[in-house]
Structure 1
Amino acid sequence: MLDAVIGGFKESERIVSDALDAHVGSGTLLLADRGLWGLARWHRLRGQGTHLLWRIERRKARRVQDVLPDGSYLARTEANKHSRAAGKVKVPPALVRVIEYRIDGQADVVRLITSLLDHEKYPAAELAALYARRWETEPVFDEIKTHQRGRPVLRSQTPDGVRREVYAHLIVHHATRDLLNEAARILQSTAERTSFTRALHVVRRTVISPSGFSPLGPQT
């Protein structure tokens, strides 16, 4: 977890997430679920030099331009027909590459679009495998919400207090994960093979230990 943005319960995550655009740019590959799709957002991020690999609904990007040797295809996506009929279209169409596949045992087709159009440099199978790793963010949310927080609700009773508490949890999680990465490096292992819960217990014991740190600072 490198950054986060907090909004009100009435605010759409699609709108709130726009605040994170400043943290991506040239050389970044941004993965996102289908709920964040937007043609204007696509153009804006591409204008920053960001490459995109997003899941998308099946009815999007259906105008096939060219079928590629790896099974993916180039297609044109544009604003929906309701926007066009109302004369509100200000965003040009975009040429995207579509990758479709099924997960074993599931009937639904996973449909991705990407700005990486070169099928030789970026094979469809590799991009599909990379997108599957996006779900590794879910255990991170579980670490923070279930194991670290330890309470069903936040303690703060004010909006500012809630924001501070959320960011405090994110900072603690980042520091704990950084500790795990360092331990894995020393042991020549990987952080994925270490237990976040055990590391969190170690951190808590160290923090509350009198020898861990002194709230009074150094004695003179």
Structure 2
Amino acid sequence: MCLMDTYSHELLDARLGAMTQGELTLAAALAGCDQSLTVFDRAYFSAAFLLDWQERGQQRHWLMRAKDNLRHEVVARNAPGDYTISMPVSPRARRLHPKLPSHWQARLIEVQLGGRTRRFITSLTDAKRYPAQPLAQLYVQRWEIELGFREIKQSLQAGAFALRSKQPHLVRQELWGVLIAYTLLRRLMRQMAEHVKVAPLRIGFHATSIAIIDVLRFAPLESAASLPKRLALLFEHAHLFVIPARRTQRSYPRVVKRRPMKYPTKMPVSS
């Protein structure tokens, strides 16, 4: 379970657990950041989890897609498609967490995105300070963590199907090593991006990670004074690793691929 900065893909925190632990259990142990907005998937909709998340620090807010069967009552109408709602807490949740109230409040917004009506629920209840449309567009960043996982699997681990370790404690050690290495690489890429004055995600991960690893790979063979010089040279060449900005108009709808046919279709024979 990882918490990622969507602006730079740096990992802010991570938790590893056994198969007996669910995602909510691991997510509850993450150290959130103050003055932040965390984008969650709908699977994390839980009164106990979300209330604890926003109360564990200063201005720790959250945003997620609203479930289709969301049970709620409208408390106040802030604007068309923008409501303050009250939701009941399930009896089971109150048995597990006796301090939970019988109802809790959040903000429900309905906006048009891509020609479809989308519903989002958030702890940012100030409708004047946080308009609905820009707030809903932030949910797109929910997929940045999936892109980060792809960078780890395809580039950092070279698409390896399985980890090299065979024992549980070594698997954990290897996973922590991979996550730490990825965070350090992304942190250096953010500094390179600042050097050439572009967004951190404009620094291509694959080629840049190879260049950084090559600098570190040969560092033990050289004097200690040569490492700062090699890093300075890497920053001078940072403009070579800048990739074009993302195309925002691209669309990839979810579809089921047609299964390839092993044999040709038999044509009917007519006489």
CA contact (8 A) 2:73 2:87 kept: yes
TM-score normalised by length of structure 2: 0.69
Change (3 A) 1:87 1:172: closer
CA contact (8 A) 1:56 1:112 kept: yes
Give the superposition deviation at 1:8: 1.6
Give the superposition deviation at 1:197: 0.2
State how far apart, in whole Å, the 2-side matches of 1:114 and 1:135 are. Answer: 18
Give the counterpart of 1:155 among 164, 173, 178. 164
Give the superposition deviation at 1:217: 7.9
Give the equivalent residue in structure 2 for 1:140.
Answer: 148
Alignment of 1:68-217 (within 5 A): 68-69=78-79, 71-80=81-90, 83=92, 90=98, 91-92=100-101, 93-104=103-114, 109-150=117-158, 151-209=160-218, 212-214=219-221
Give the equivalent residue in structure 1 for 2:74.
Answer: 64
CA contact (8 A) 2:108 2:121 kept: yes
Give the counterpart of 1:18 among 28, 43, 67. 28
Q: Give the match's secondary structure for 1:118.
A: coil
Pairing 1:47–2:59 present: no
State how far apart, in whole Å, the 2-side matches of 1:205 and 1:83 are. Answer: 54
Give the superposition deviation at 1:57: 1.0
> Unpaired runs of 5+ in structure 2?
1-10, 226-271
CA contact (8 A) 1:25 1:48 kept: no
More moved, 10-19 vs 139-148: 10-19
CA contact (8 A) 1:101 1:111 kept: yes
Give the equivalent residue in structure 2 for 1:37.
Answer: 45
State how far apart, in whole Å, the 1-side matches of 2:183 and 2:56 are. Answer: 27
Aligned residues: 210
State how far apart, in whole Å, the 1-side matches of 2:33 and 2:187 are. Answer: 24
State the 4+ residue runs in structure 1 displaced beyond 3 angstroms.
86-90, 214-218
CA contact (8 A) 1:63 1:76 kept: yes
Give the superposition deviation at 1:155: 0.7
CA contact (8 A) 2:72 2:88 kept: no
Identity of aligned residues (%): 28
Q: Give the match's secondary structure for 2:118.
A: strand
Q: Give the match's secondary structure for 2:206.
A: helix
TM-score normalised by length of structure 1: 0.84
More moved, 1-10 vs 118-127: 1-10
1:88-134 CA-partner distances (Å, limit 9, x unpaired): 784211111001235316x5x53221111111101111211112112
Q: Give the match's secondary structure for 1:182.
A: helix
